[in-house]
Amino acid sequence: MSQVRTRFAPSPTGYMHIGNLRTCLYEYLIARVNKGTFVLRIEDTDQERFVEGAMDAVFNTLKMTGIGYDEGPGKEGDCGPYIQSQRRDIYKKYAEELVRRGHAYYCFCTKERLESIKGGDENLGAALNYDRHCRTISQEEVAKNLAEGKPYVIRQLMPTEGTTTFTDLVYGDITVDNKTLDDQVLLKSDGLPTYNFANVVDDHLMGITHVVRGNEYLSSTPKYNLLYQAFGWDIPVYIHCPPIMKDAHQKLSKRNGDASFLDLVNKGYLVEAILNYIALLGWSPAGNEEFFTLKELEEKFTLEGLSKSPAIFDIEKLKWMNGEYIRRMSPEEFRAAADNWLRAGLGDALADNEAVLSKVAALVQPRTVILSDIPERIGFLKELPQYDTAIYCHKKMKTDEAISLTSLKLLAPFAAGYSGEWVSGELYTALCELAAAGGLKNSQILWPLRTALSGMEVSPGGATELMEILGRAETLKRIDKGIELLEAAAAGREE
RNA sequence: GGCCCCUUGGUCAAGAGGUUAAGACAUCGCCCUUUCACGGCGGCGACACGAGUUCGAUUCUCGUAGGGGUCACCA
């Protein structure tokens, strides 16, 4: 193969779903791996579905993911324009040529007529193909109808005998009986081509060598081949991908309310993690390594690794991978990526303090799976939550409410009088000494303290880390609050 | 319904006519530990079913079952 050219050809719906993105990724990678060209083409031939600004979703996603195209809208190559609605005349010309070659014909059937041949109460059994009524009308009648300005479509003339075989790189050879093929519409009555036709014409005109698409196109591919043959064009390499599923029965889709790429980003998934994960949904690399940057994929992607059975989108594994990506970030990278989430959790007063911000970031980084978890997890720093004193009890830490009260009463004067440096490490050492002096286990000091400071059963960071962030004054306040609550609880029990 | 496709643990998946059938997520247990998380170690867990080919099939063939797709002037 001389020069590999692939294309991503979305129809602009204003929504980039995961399956689309994966197809796009694969197209892109095939181009890069082969040092070829990646083309972006917008398939907007459906006027009824036109949505203003919908193309932006495509452009934005490509920009965010770093999937760059070599030719396409705004990056004109030799095959433009790259927006199908601007190529109208081209399709008409080719459709007419196909009529001349005897592989297509004009059809003047009305919508009503088509309805009627479908059989009023269909659905019972087989859907019916077009009855080919207009195949037989005379040249004169065609000319007359055209002259009269009758609306028409151009249909593909399918062979009635024999079989058509095509080769798919993932599914192998597939053969169908020609008699099952419908005389599909190529040119609609509004003069625009159907997807099936525009696709073939453009893929040829743009020199596309590898076509990646969902396997829902498997059954229409023979029609494509017949079209290529009718024109005498080279047939591209087909790579049909199985769908990405929501569960065993349903595809991931907008209709099911499933997350789009952008939804995931907004929920705090990292672009790199999403890309990495979806690359692995339907493709498996040569070794056991699972982490790949886009750059690495551009070298390591192989067509052999593509699988033919559907894959369920497993949000749990994405979460894990996202967490891994987060842990692999430098503290600075994480601090920047989590900025909004940290600020949201800490509130204005604390978020004003860069020292606090970066300390909290450090605490939270190894514990974060998705960024949106952050605010809830650090909210206690902003304000001590209401809590039940039962959380002071912890069997393994060997504490209960009584011991906790004792500890906190030791801790209050300790914190007030502590003269060392107010940092976690120093505080930790001092607290261990305090415990020893009081005949307590470390945990009997540290657990009650951590609990009083956080008001939560679990918190990011331990007692002394929280002390450092909260500062002495707030630490004292929260210890006092703990004492107050524990005394009240004890009094309540005595009654 | 016709036609086409798919089927390895709960999930993603490697694999090949002879393997103790990889690895990852999830899950469970243990260790580490100032909670949690991270990390370390270990456990549970799969070739849809039935024939055939073969000395031997999870792997090849054919059926069966289950699932998916498609049958538009939508892509």
Interval A12-38: pLDDT, tens: 888 889 999 999 999 999 999 999 999
Distance A313 CA to B18 C1' (A): 36
User: In this structure, are A284 and A249 located in the same domain?
Assistant: yes
Compute the distance between CA of residue A368 and CA of residue A319 in angstroms, rounded to an integer.
Answer: 10
Tally the domains of chain A: 4
Q: pLDDT tens, A153-198?
A: 999 999 999 999 999 999 999 999 999 999 999 999 999 999 999 9
Q: How many angstroms separate the CA of A305 from the C1' of B56? A: 29
pLDDT per residue as tens digits for the range A119-164: 544 444 456 789 899 999 999 999 999 999 999 999 999 999 999 9
Query: Is position A300 within any domain?
Result: yes
Give residue-wise pLDDT tens across range A327-367: 999 999 999 999 999 999 999 888 889 999 999 999 999 99
Q: Which bases of strand B have any atom within 7 Å of the beta carbon of a protein residue?
A: 1-8, 10-15, 22-26, 33-39, 67-75
The separation, in Å, between residue A243 CA and nucleotide B65 C1' comes to 23
Q: Which residue is nearest to nucleotide B11 (CA to C1')?
A: A314
Quick one: pLDDT at residue A4?
97
Shared-domain flag, residues A95 and A230: yes
User: Is there a single domain that holds both residue A95 and residue A197?
Assistant: yes
Residue written as tokens 């994405």? A318
Residue A106 β-bridge partners: A154
Q: Which nucleotide is nearest to A84 (CA to C1')?
A: B75
Protein residue with the closest CA to the C1' atom of nucleotide B24 = A290
How far apart CA A270 and CA A28 sit, in angstroms, is: 20
Q: Is A154 helix (H, G, I), strand (E, B) or coil?
A: strand
Distance A236 CA to B22 C1' (A): 35
Pair A415, A444 in one domain: yes
Q: Which of A353, A382, A411 is the last residue in one of the domains? A: A382
State pLDDT tens for residues A387-437.
999 999 998 999 999 999 999 999 999 999 999 999 999 999 999 999 999
Closest nt to residue A304, judged CA to C1': B14
Q: Please give the pLDDT value at position A351.
A: 86
As a rounded value in angstroms, the CA-to-C1' distance for A210 and B8 is: 30
Is there a single domain that holds both residue A430 and residue A480? yes
Strand partners, A193: A187
Give me the percent of chain A exceeding a pLDDT of 90.
86
Assign A310 a pLDDT band (cuts: 50, 70, 90).
very high
β-sheet bridge partners, residue A214: A241
A336 and A310 together in one domain: no
- Same domain? For A149 and A262 the reply is no
CA distance linking residue A10 with residue A260, whole number of Å: 15
User: Which SS3 state, helix, strand or coil, does residue A290 take?
Assistant: coil
Predicted pLDDT at A259? 87
Tokens, residue A435: 């415990």
Going by pLDDT thresholds of 50, 70 and 90, the confidence category of residue A54 is confident
Q: What is the CA A175 to C1' B53 distance in angstroms?
A: 25
Residue A80 buriedness (CB in 10 A; 0-12 / 13-18 / 19+) = middle
| Phi, psi of A290, deg, nearest 5 | -115, -15
Q: Is A371 helix (H, G, I), strand (E, B) or coil?
A: helix
Q: Whose CA is closest to A22, among A199, A213, A220?
A: A213
Residue A81 lies in a domain: no
Domain ranges, residue A269? 5-73+244-315
Would you say residue A78 lies in a domain?
Answer: no
pLDDT computed for residue A119 by the predictor: 59
Nucleotide whose C1' lies closest to the alpha carbon of residue A214: B69
Nearest to A275 by CA among A29, A7, A56, A4: A29
ipTM attached to this prediction: 0.95
In a domain, A222, yes or no: yes
Do A16 and A31 sit in the same domain of this protein? yes
Q: Are residues A449 and A398 in the same domain?
A: yes
β-pair partners for A104: A156
C1' nearest to CA of A171: which nucleotide? B5
Residue A153, domain member (yes or no): yes
Type of residue numbered A477:
K
Residue A401 domain-assigned?
A: yes
In angstroms, the CA of A478 and the C1' of B41 are apart by: 39
More confident residue, A8 or A16: A8
Given a cut of 70, whether residue A276 has pLDDT beyond it is yes
In a domain, A322, yes or no: no
Name the nucleotide with the smallest C1'–CA separation from A368. Answer: B37
Residue A495 pLDDT greater than 80, yes or no: no
Nearest residue by alpha-carbon distance to C1' of B73: A188
**Nearest protein residue to nucleotide B15, judged by CA and C1' positions:** A286
Q: Which residues pair with A175 in a beta bridge?
A: A165
Of all nucleotides in the shown strands, which has a C1' nearest the CA of A397? Answer: B35
Whether A248 has a pLDDT exceeding 80, the answer reads yes
- Let me know whether A117 and A233 are in one domain: yes
Q: What are phi and psi of A306, to 5 degrees?
A: -75, 140
**Res A47: pLDDT:** 73
Domain at A215, CATH number:
3.40.50.620
Nucleotide B67, nearest residue via CA and C1': A249
Q: Which residues contact A141 (CB under 8 A, 6 or more apart)?
A: none
| From A67-71, A258-262, A314-318, A412-416, the region with the lowest mean pLDDT | A258-262
A237 and A251 housed in the same domain:
no
Instruction: Tell whether A232 and A248 lie within a shared domain.
Output: no
| Protein CA A391 to sugar C1' B29 (Å) | 25
Please give the Cα distance from A91 to A200 (Å, whole number): 10
What is the CATH number for A357?
Answer: 1.10.8
The total number of residues written for chain A in this structure: 495
Positions of A marked catalytic: 254
Mean pLDDT, chain A, as a whole number?
A: 93
User: Nearest residue to B1, CA vs C1'?
Assistant: A125
pLDDT of residue A494: 75
| Residue pair A341/A374 in contact by the 8 Å Cβ criterion | yes
- Of the candidates A129, A138, A118, which has an alpha carbon nearest to the alpha carbon of residue A184? A129
pLDDT category of residue A97 using cuts at 50, 70 and 90? very high
The two counts, helices (H) then strands (E), for chain A are: 19, 11
